[in-house]
Amino acid sequence: MLEFKATEILILLINVVLGMILFFLLLAISRRLYNGARFRSLDKYRADYQPRLEKALADGTFSDKRSTFEAPLLSLPWQAVEDVLFRLIDKPSLRAAAAQAFQSLGYVQYYERSVKSGSVLKKALAINKLGRMRSGSSADLLLSMLDCKEPEIIASSVWALGNIGDSVTLPHIFSVLPDLFRQELISAKTVENALLLFGIKAKDILIEEAKKCQDPGILAIILEARHTFPIDEPSLDFAMSVLRHTDPEVRAKALKVIAASPRAMRVCVEPGIAPLLADPVWFVRLQAVRALGFMECSSLAGQIGHMVLDERWQVRRAAAVALTRLGDKAVETLLTLLRSSDRYARETVCEEIQKTDFIMMLIWHLTSPQLALKEKATEILRTMISLRFSSVLREMLETLHDEPLKKEIAALLREEPSQ
């Protein structure tokens, strides 16, 4: 009797489990069918609205046709119009008209209400939408969100303000940044990306804020953002003034600003940069080498060459690249490095020579009437061949029509070590 009841219970449990599996399977299938039908309908609405909205925004007739684009809140047509406007707002020629359409059709007002109430996720989504809509009228609301304690809300607000691009909001953002960083409510990368979104119109404000800034972390962020825009005299002067800052991030970012300056050739002879080649922090040395390389400071070729022996491979490689930018003026320094016992340094130099036009200069020097230059070029190429950096020479041997030069290359390649 007991065995019979146990069997019944087991069968019942199996049936229940199978029933649940079947129920959830049918539920998943139904949901997929429903979503598929919904997305197909949404695509049809988008296809209908896209050409009509684009034409209305382009020819300035949107106000007259606005009623044809109105739809019940959160309906499929409402969502389709929003999606199409987001596509169109990315077109510079339609940006202002699309932003005005978002306002006129009530999307801005809806998402502003969502920002003021709802869950953190709902607020963050609404803030991102307002940023994508470039809703300048929402700037004050977004600025108020910087006072909350939710990292997601703060990050979304900073990004949205950057996307809106009203540089008037920058002073307020900088005023609250120290507290936000102190409480670890926002990351430096988020702020950097937002500052870049503000665009070139914010470049003057960035330097003015930098001059007042006491927080080295924020100062480094400002310099990082500033170096991506054309560098003017005030920005260059400020960057030079903080090269001796106690914070290494600030020193490194200042060097990036200097390297981006059109006045860089004059800066390289000043005493500000060269000492940073001996900075105790490796990424400062890296930026110093890169800056001098961009400036093509031939007077510092020897000091740049010494950096090819740096303890950090990043600095070594940057120094090798910088030397190849100097052309003939770096030949003597390169020879010194290739004569050293540091195989890594030698290979790094050879690799950078092969990747740049520098190797072509050396090849043409093989038939130079200047005997000293020819001998130096020959020694560098011979060293490269011994370290198995000969692919460019082999290619030149096959494609050149200059017979004297081909003979010089062939003679060098005969010295190549066997495999």
**DSSP assignment letter at 367:** G
- The pLDDT tens digits for 73-96 are 989 999 999 999 999 999 999 999
pLDDT of 321 > 90? The answer is no
pLDDT of 100 > 60? The answer is yes
What's the pLDDT band for 296 if we cut at 50, 70, 90? confident
pLDDT of 237 > 60? The answer is yes
Both tokens of 174, joined, read 């900088």
CA distances from 194 to 174, 232, 342 (A): 12, 21, 44
What is the model's pLDDT at position 263?
67
What is the model's pLDDT at position 130?
96
Alpha-carbon distance of 259 to 266, in angstroms, equals 11
What is the model's pLDDT at position 3?
55
* Alpha helices for 59-138 (secondary structure H): 62-65, 76-89, 95-104, 107-116, 120-132
Site of tokens 């399977």: 25
What is the model's pLDDT at position 195?
87
Instruction: State mean pLDDT over 265-282.
Output: 80
pLDDT of 149 > 90? The answer is no
**DSSP assignment letter at 418:** P
Coil/strand/helix, residue 105: coil
pLDDT of 179 > 60? The answer is yes
- DSSP per position, 244-291: T-SSHHHHHHHHHHHHT-TTHHHHTTSTTTGGGGG-SSHHHHHHHHHH
Instruction: Select from 308, 254, 259 the least CA-distant residue to 284.
Output: 254
Angle at 71 (CA atoms; ends 65, 72), nearest 5 degrees: 155
What region, left, alpha or beta, does residue 118 occupy, with left being phi > 0 and alpha being psi -120 to 50 degrees? Answer: left
What is the model's pLDDT at position 409?
87
What is the model's pLDDT at position 398?
86
Instruction: State mean pLDDT over 393-417.
Output: 86
- Three state DSSP letters for 175-207: HHHHHHHHCCCCCHHHHHHHHHHHCHHHHHHHH
What is the model's pLDDT at position 9?
72
Instruction: Select from 118, 110, 177, 172 the least CA-distant residue to 144.
Output: 172
Contact 304, 316 (CB under 8 A): no
Averaged pLDDT score across all residues of the chain = 87
| Percent above pLDDT 90 for the chain | 38
What is the model's pLDDT at position 320?
87
Number of Cβ within 10 Å of residue 234's Cβ equals 13
Contact 132, 159 (CB under 8 A): no
